[in-house]
Structure 1
Amino acid sequence: MDGHDMGGMTMSPPPMTGHNTSGTMAHQNMMVMHMTFFWGKNAQILFDGWPGNRAGMYALSLVIVFLLAAAVECLSRSQVIKPGTNGVAAGLLLTAMHTVRMGLAYLVMLAVMSFNGGVFLAAVGGHAVGFLVAWIGVFKKAASPYSYENTSDLPPTSC
């Protein structure tokens, strides 16, 4: 028998795709996945092959991560529901806003999991700028600039 016996089921080993002259398996097109922070433009962020190995595409990816993180903070502190809005409409709008906010937050988290230092800094910077922009808007609406009451339609994220 060529495979491994697993409780009456036989499993064959995976086929070997290539061999070098010493008889060991040759790994072709292996992607290196970093498990520690690294610096450089040769990163894979969110999608296979993106941003590639071009500096311009890497810079664009950093801008996109920055904007996603800023959008998460702005959504976290937005007030779009007016007093007296129909309860069902308000509930649907809050649900949609929460869904978009969490989707964006998870995209930022996955981008940071690329362990690229530039992506990490872009995400943190985006959160900081988004917080500042949203908080300045809250300053204009609140009676006291340090009031935490009624500064957002959505509850705070709990990550």
Structure 2
Amino acid sequence: MSHDHAHLTPISPDSLYNNSKNVNDMAMHMTFFWGKDVLVLFNGWPNGRLGMYILALAFVFLLAVAVEILATVPVKPRMSPLSGGLFEAAVYAVRMALAYSIMLSVMSFNVGIFIVAVAGHAVGRFIVKHRAIAAVYMAANDVPKV
């Protein structure tokens, strides 16, 4: 067995970075950056177009809101254990798919995408907690539901 490694060529991080280009010949960012020139989830999207970038921001925001809302989907009391378990598993699978999509979007290192993902989670959590606190408040103060 030969231990001669003289024929191996070392790979520098710079050469990896410079050779990792997407379809549009844009270098993949490895640090946070501002700008609409980003690739989010799908090949060629938003493709440097401002309108599509804004749509991507809205899409990631809504995904994050949905993840938080799906975290608290209740099981109906009349469901059988099997159907209740299947329903919970299906909701959880959808929630995880959305959460991983958000994670992949944030991995674009675009500051705008990062901000809307965090804001979407915050708004989603606010919606969920506001509902819960309002229900407790109404029950404690005998306020009729509207």
Give the Cα–Cα distance (whole angstroms) in 2 for the partners of residues 132 and 104 of structure 1: 18
1:40-51 superposed matches below 5 A: 40-51=35-46
**Hey, what does 2:71 align to over in structure 1?**
76
1:65 shift after superposition = 0.2
**Hey, what does 1:92 align to over in structure 2?**
86
Give the Cα–Cα distance (whole angstroms) in 1 for the partners of residues 35 and 129 of structure 2: 33
Secondary structure of the structure 2 residue equivalent to 1:139: helix
**Hey, what does 1:113 align to over in structure 2?**
107
Going from structure 1 to structure 2, the CA distance change for 1:142 and 1:135 (only over 3 Å counts) comes to: same
How many positions carry a matched residue from both structures? 118
- Is contact 1:78–1:134 with CA below 8 Å preserved after alignment? no
TM-score, normalised on structure 1? 0.69
Going from structure 1 to structure 2, the CA distance change for 1:29 and 1:118 (only over 3 Å counts) comes to: closer
Going from structure 1 to structure 2, the CA distance change for 1:91 and 1:29 (only over 3 Å counts) comes to: closer
1:1-12 superposed matches below 5 A: none
Secondary structure of the structure 2 residue equivalent to 1:51: coil
**Hey, what does 2:49 align to over in structure 1?**
54
**Residue type of the alignment partner of 2:47:** G
Give the Cα–Cα distance (whole angstroms) in 1 for the partners of residues 24 and 100 of structure 2: 28
Give the Cα–Cα distance (whole angstroms) in 2 for the partners of residues 142 and 97 of structure 1: 25
Whichever of the two has the greater Rg, that structure is 1
**Residue type of the alignment partner of 1:103:** A
Unpaired segments ≥5 residues, structure 2 = 1-20, 140-146
**Hey, what does 1:134 align to over in structure 2?**
128
Secondary structure of the structure 2 residue equivalent to 1:109: helix
Give the Cα–Cα distance (whole angstroms) in 2 for the partners of residues 36 and 130 of structure 1: 27
Give the Cα–Cα distance (whole angstroms) in 2 for the partners of residues 36 and 144 of structure 1: 47
- Is contact 1:43–1:116 with CA below 8 Å preserved after alignment? yes
Give the Cα–Cα distance (whole angstroms) in 2 for the partners of residues 93 and 101 of structure 1: 12
Going from structure 1 to structure 2, the CA distance change for 1:61 and 1:87 (only over 3 Å counts) comes to: same
**Hey, what does 1:64 align to over in structure 2?**
59
1:78 shift after superposition = 2.4
**Hey, what does 1:38 align to over in structure 2?**
33
**Hey, what does 1:149 align to over in structure 2?**
none
Indicate the percent of aligned positions where both proteins have the same amino acid.
49
TM-score, normalised on structure 2? 0.75
